[in-house]
Amino acid sequence: MDTWENLLANISSSMILDCAGRSLDLSSPKIMGILNVTPDSFSDGGNFLDVENALRQAERMMREGATVIDVGGESTRPGAQAVSVQQELDRVVPVVEAIVQNLDIVVSIDTSKAVVMREAVVAGAGMINDVRALREPGALEVAANCDIPICLMHMQGEPRSMQSNPQYLDVVDDVFEFLEERIEDCFKIGVNRKRLLVDPGFGFGKSLAHNLSLLKHLDVFSRLELPVLVGVSRKSMIGAMLNVDVHERLYGSIALAVMACQKGANIIRCHDVSEHAQALRIYHAVVSAQ
C-alpha cells in the first residue's frame, strides 16, 4: 500500500536529478550559468591563469544564484570556427576538474564530441549539454556508458550555415518529433529516460518567427515528460525584435526567460545570473501563492 508520504516522496524525487552525486532539484526553476572557455590570444587553454579565471567566474555565478555551470570550449555561434578535439579537451577538462574540486555545484559540459564528453565525465562533470543531441560519432555510446543527465537539444543544420534559410513544415511539430526520435535512440542504447532533458534550441536553425512559435507553444514539450531547458540569453531573436546589440539584451532575455518558465521550462541557461535569479525568485513566489 502506498502511503501519502510515499506518493509525495515519489513525486518530489522525480523532480530531483542525480548529477554525479550532486542533486539538482527541479521543483522550482533553476539557473544554468554560461561559462565559455575560449582562451585569450596567448594561450589555448589549460594554463593556470585561464583555469583560475574560469573558477572565479564560476564561483561568482554560484554566489549569484546559479545551480549549474555550463562549461563550453567550442563556440556554436552562427558562423563560428570549428575547434579540434585536442584544443577542446585542453580548454575544458582542467576547468571542469577545478570547479568540481573547489565548488559544490553541478558542472555541465557543453560539447558534441564523444571524447570530450568522456573526459569531462572522468573529471567529474554532472551533466552533458549537447546542441547536436548525441548525433556525433560515438556520442550515444558515451552517453550509454555514463550515468549523468543529458540535455538533448534541437538544431537544424550546422552552426556555420544554420541561419541562412531555416525551413519547417510546422516548427513546433518538427522539433517535437526530432526530440522524440532522439529520446527513442537513447532509450534503445540503454540510456534511462530519467536521465534525459530536452531543449528546443532557440536560435539554432530558426527564424525569429520560428523562435516565437516555439516559445508560445513551449508547453507542448511537457508532453515528453522530461525536464525542459531553455537558452535565450542575449540571443539574436532579441536583437531582431528590439534592434539592440548583444550587450543591451538583458531586459529582453529576462522577459523571455520568465515566459519560458510559465510555459514549463525547468532550467534557464543564461549569462547574467544575478538578474535572472531575481526574476525567477519573483516568478516562483507568485506561482507558489495560494
CB of 266 closer than 8 Å to CB of 227: yes
- 111-150 residues in contact with ligand 8Y7 (CB under 6 A) are 129, 131
Q: Report if residue 178 touches ligand 8Y7, rule: CB under 6 A.
A: no
* Alpha carbons 198 and 201: distance in angstroms, whole number: 9
Q: How far apart are the first and last CA of the chain?
A: 31
The one catalytic residue among 195, 206, 249, 269: 269
Q: Report if residue 201 touches ligand 8Y7, rule: CB under 6 A.
A: yes
Of 83-91, 94-102, 198-206, 246-254: span binding ligand 8Y7 (CB under 6 A)? 198-206
Select from 33, 58, 116, 202 the one that contacts ligand 8Y7 (CB under 6 A).
202
> Which C-beta is closer to ligand 8Y7: that of 38 or that of 274?
38
We find the least distance from the C-beta atom of residue 108 to ligand 8Y7, in angstroms, to be 9
Select from 45, 73, 231, 252 the one that contacts ligand 8Y7 (CB under 6 A).
231
Select from 269, 272, 277, 279 the one that contacts ligand 8Y7 (CB under 6 A).
269
The one catalytic residue among 118, 182, 235, 263: 235
User: What grid cell was written down for 141?
Assistant: 555510446
* Orientation angle between helical segments 114-122 and 85-102, nearest 10 degrees: 20
> Which C-beta is closer to ligand 8Y7: that of 9 or that of 80?
80
Other beta carbons within 10 angstroms of residue 51's beta carbon come to: 18
User: What grid cell was written down for 118?
Assistant: 568522456
Pattern 31-70, binding to ligand 8Y7, x per CB under 6 A? ---x------------------------------------
User: What grid cell was written down for 239?
Assistant: 536583437
Half-sphere exposure of 114 (CA within 13 A, CB side): 12
* Alpha carbons 29 and 67: distance in angstroms, whole number: 10
Look up 135 and say whether it is catalytic: no
As a whole number of angstroms, the longest Cα–Cα distance in the chain is 65
User: What grid cell was written down for 113?
Assistant: 564530441
Look up 30 and say whether it is catalytic: no
Distances (CA, A) of 2 to 5, 6, 9, 124, 255: 8, 6, 11, 36, 41
Q: Report if residue 229 touches ligand 8Y7, rule: CB under 6 A.
A: yes
Q: Could you give the residue numbers annotated as active site?
A: 235, 269
Q: Which residue ranges make up the site for ligand 8Y7 (CB under 6 A)?
A: 34, 72, 76-77, 110, 129, 131, 151, 153, 199, 201-202, 229, 231, 235, 269
